[in-house]
Chains A and B, each alone.
Chain A
């Protein structure tokens, strides 16, 4: 319309992630209804809501695990609505799963190596990586970053739950992520492991934005700058963490009602 900046913001070039009117139907059930969200690059946001509010479905639509029934999704200005999941990942989107989705038959190192390989070239390479392979070094660094060096040659099936959650995060950090979706990363973690998780989240480079689904308010509200509240597949409220926390409607809906 007027300035260049305004016109760009109209097509969403300024946003890391822009959802417009995203609806997802499962048969007659609307898991998401007309969801519109804009997230700036580097922004860190929590998505709250009770079970069945559509949080994980929202993630599945963004990554393409389930494409939306209608609406558009833009990632750094590019319309990715019709892209298969792997094309979205190659553009810098990452996600973790609520229930660890790892490769139990492979070692920790192989799991992380695959994540590094998936977002670089040579996915079909028939040549084994050598001693000085750059991706092997990247793998090593990532394994260290999530404190799994001691178990790197163990098969994932043999890991403890907390270690699997950490590996889940390592897989999402491979390559050069621009935006990450964390689906309940603290689920089932001990208090110590939660502190480590908060440390990992807060020490991510500033240009990496994320959306985190988290029931634990202590974790969620400490690592984000904005909050989106969902209810019955719709956006219910958006705001700063303290606004959401003190909002009477939100407390009625979510923080009260059975939750302590």
Chain B
């Protein structure tokens, strides 16, 4: 303690303070692992083939973005929303409806640069209205209301033919094509998803320390006290739903570009719950959690089939593996894989400090 205080009186104190503030704001800047992961992600197209690039990594990033919107609501706002995938799916449907697709009787044929902002705006509105309903409740009732919205949307898309084209959905959705680049080719699309995911990740990280994010965490910890400090807790909750809805909508637009089609199966109740599983398995305390959860989910979904068959089991049982993993996480680490990793690292640093003496002191 005395050591720490004496260092504060060194001449370059203000420069140090700025640097400390920067490091506190962006802790990953001093983490070599974060730099390594970022480098690998950027040069991924040199390492991975098209299958890995799209089916594993782009899919992970897209699911990660959608789960990130849930992490923002649940981690900082204490609101577990099961409708985040529904919002993403709504954005995807709107891209298909306003843009160009194989179903010319439904799609309006707008260019992508008009259809995409329209889809983002409508999906954000949808999420905000859903949020305005959900904030009237707390805890399990929030889950029930958002699940009800998700289920209602799923059945509505199944039965509505005029806009959503019923259970067949909308196929051969056009993808952006500009500056002479087809942005749906594997490498270009990988970079689009990586860029969007990075922006969303840093935006959530940044907002968590801005007044809006701090106030949201205050509402999570003690909403009555927040009102006694001059904040309108419900207005903050609804604004959080709007912000999360925009992130989920970005994920939804990427998803429809990825699969080039959207159908009720994409917004099923099961898929909604998958997003919850991804966020919880990864960890909802930090924005990186949903991406780790998404990677585990996608790897299991893609490869568990082969592994299971190798062991002479039914390949369709990969969900059993995911379910068991989910149970294990909920039992042993309520803050997900991130929590496991942090505890493991803390144990390691404390043991090296005991043996080798204070490298950090």
Are A and B subunits of one complex? yes
Write the residues of chain A forming the contact surface with B, with a CB cutoff of 8 angstroms.
Answer: 63-65, 84-86, 89-90, 94-95, 97, 101-106, 110, 113-115, 117-119, 122-129, 131, 171, 174-175
Interface of A is mostly: loop
Enumerate chain B residues within 8 angstroms of A94, measured Cβ to Cβ: 228
- CB of B345 within 8 A of chain A? no
Enumerate chain B residues within 8 angstroms of A119, measured Cβ to Cβ: 229-230
Q: Is the CB of A124 within 8 A of B222?
A: no
Q: Is the CB of B18 within 8 A of A122?
A: no
Interface of B is mostly: helix
Give the distance to chain B from A123, nearest Cβ to Cβ, in Å: 6
Q: Is the CB of B225 within 8 A of A103?
A: yes
Q: Is the CB of A101 within 8 A of B206?
A: no
Q: Is the CB of B18 within 8 A of A127?
A: no
In the bound complex, CA of A21 to CA of B33 (Å): 65
Q: Is the CB of A63 within 8 A of B228?
A: yes
Given A117-B214, A128-B25, 19 further pairs, Cβ under 8 A: A65-B227, A84-B227, A84-B232, A85-B227, A86-B229, A89-B228, A90-B230, A101-B222, A101-B224, A101-B225, A103-B218, A117-B211, A122-B211, A123-B215, A123-B236, A125-B211, A126-B206, A128-B209, A175-B230
A174-B229 contact in complex given A105-B221, A106-B221, A124-B212, C-beta closer than 8 Å: yes
Q: Is the CB of B221 within 8 A of A103?
A: yes
Q: Is the CB of B207 within 8 A of A113?
A: no
The chain B residue sitting closest to A156, CB to CB, is B221
The chain B residue sitting closest to A105, CB to CB, is B221
Partner of A118, one of B207, B212, B231: B231
Q: Is the CB of A86 within 8 A of B211?
A: no
- CB of B226 within 8 A of chain A? yes
- CB of B286 within 8 A of chain A? no
Please encode chain B, from 190 to 214, with 1 for each CB lying within 8 Å of some chain A CB and 0 for all others. 0000000000000000110111101
Partner of B228, one of A101, A103, A126, A129: A101
Please tell me the number of chain B residues within 8 Å of chain A, measured between CB atoms: 28
Determine which residue in B212, B227, B229 has the highest number of CB atoms from chain A within 10 A of its CB, and name it: B229
In the bound complex, CA of A97 to CA of B229 (Å): 12
In the bound complex, CA of A190 to CA of B220 (Å): 31
Give the distance to chain B from A167, nearest Cβ to Cβ, in Å: 12
Please encode chain B, from 231 to 244, with 1 for each CB lying within 8 Å of some chain A CB and 0 for all others. 11001100100000
Partner of A106, one of B210, B214, B227, B228: B214
Q: Is the CB of B228 within 8 A of A128?
A: no
Give the distance to chain B from A89, nearest Cβ to Cβ, in Å: 4
Q: Is the CB of B228 within 8 A of A85?
A: yes
A105-B220 contact in complex given A89-B229, A90-B230, A110-B214, C-beta closer than 8 Å: yes
In the bound complex, CA of A89 to CA of B228 (Å): 6
A103-B222 contact in complex given A123-B215, A128-B210, C-beta closer than 8 Å: yes
- CB of B21 within 8 A of chain A? yes
Determine which residue in B21, B25, B228 has the highest number of CB atoms from chain A within 10 A of its CB, and name it: B228
In the bound complex, CA of A175 to CA of B215 (Å): 16
Q: Is the CB of A124 within 8 A of B236?
A: yes
Q: Is the CB of B18 within 8 A of A103?
A: no
Complex A-B: 24 CB contacts under 8 Å: A64-B227, A65-B224, A84-B227, A85-B224, A95-B228, A101-B225, A103-B218, A105-B221, A106-B217, A115-B229, A118-B215, A118-B226, A119-B229, A119-B230, A123-B215, A123-B231, A124-B212, A124-B236, A128-B25, A128-B206, A131-B18, A171-B225, A174-B229, A175-B230
Q: Is the CB of B217 within 8 A of A103?
A: yes
Partner of B215, one of A95, A102, A117, A174: A117
Enumerate chain A residues within 8 angstroms of B209, measured Cβ to Cβ: 128
Give the distance to chain A from B92, nearest Cβ to Cβ, in Å: 26
A123-B221 contact in complex given A63-B228, A90-B230, A95-B228, C-beta closer than 8 Å: no
In the bound complex, CA of A115 to CA of B227 (Å): 10
Give the distance to chain B from A125, nearest Cβ to Cβ, in Å: 4
Enumerate chain A residues within 8 angstroms of B224, measured Cβ to Cβ: 65, 85, 101
Give the distance to chain B from A122, nearest Cβ to Cβ, in Å: 6
In the bound complex, CA of A97 to CA of B228 (Å): 10
In the bound complex, CA of A117 to CA of B211 (Å): 7
Enumerate chain B residues within 8 angstroms of A118, measured Cβ to Cβ: 215, 226, 229-231
Give the distance to chain B from A112, nearest Cβ to Cβ, in Å: 10
Enumerate chain A residues within 8 angstroms of B218, measured Cβ to Cβ: 103, 106, 114
Q: Is the CB of A129 within 8 A of B211?
A: yes
Q: Is the CB of A125 within 8 A of B210?
A: yes
In the bound complex, CA of A105 to CA of B220 (Å): 9
Give the distance to chain B from A129, nearest Cβ to Cβ, in Å: 7
Determine which residue in B18, B206, B227, B239 has the highest number of CB atoms from chain A within 10 A of its CB, and name it: B227
Determine which residue in A64, A95, A97, A105 has the highest number of CB atoms from chain B within 10 A of its CB, and name it: A105
In the bound complex, CA of A195 to CA of B311 (Å): 73
